[in-house]
């Protein structure tokens, strides 16, 4: 594959990472933070796959990406459980409502 394809792939991965980082930093809602985290990890996995393809080590890259996906599912499940408990306690998923809970 050519250098232009690799540059476009890395550019798209960086754009996904930046979009996810914005979703985490903006943090108006816990759902937006979770989606930002998921989008950010998709950018990282795309980077691993592009780098593995460029170095002819696609099998290793796929193994790392599979591990990242498994960890991402566990984190998402834990985050959703926390969101359910926060919604039961505060009645909303706003970050501002969570800050009011501090004692």
Share of the chain above pLDDT 70, in %: 97
pLDDT of amino acid 14: 97
Range of the domain at 68: 3-99
Specify the pTM.
0.87
Q: Domain of 80: which CATH number?
A: 1.10.287.3510
- Helices 30-54 and 58-90 pack at an angle, to 10 degrees, of 180
Residues in contact with 86: Cβ distance below 8 Å, sequence separation at least 6, in sequence order: 30, 93, 97, 98
Whether the predicted pLDDT of 103 surpasses 70: no
| Residues 58-99: tens digit of each pLDDT | 999 999 999 999 999 999 999 999 999 989 988 999 988 888
pLDDT classification of 1: cutoffs 50, 70, 90 = low
- The domain tally of the chain equals 1
CA–CA dist 40, 22 (Å, integer):
9
């Amino acid at each position: 594959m050519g250098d232009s394809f690799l540059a476009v792939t890395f550019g798209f991965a960086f754009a996904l990472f930046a979009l996810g980082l914005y979703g985490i930093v903006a943090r108006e809602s816990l759902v937006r933070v979770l989606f930002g985290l998921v989008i950010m990890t998709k950018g990282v996995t795309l980077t691993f796959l592009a780098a593995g393809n460029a170095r002819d080590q696609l099998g290793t890259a796929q193994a790392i990406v599979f591990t990242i996906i498994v960890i991402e599912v566990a984190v998402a499940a834990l985050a959703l459980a926390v969101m359910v408990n926060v919604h039961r306690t505060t009645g909303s998923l706003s970050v501002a409502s969570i800050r009011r809970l501090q004692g």
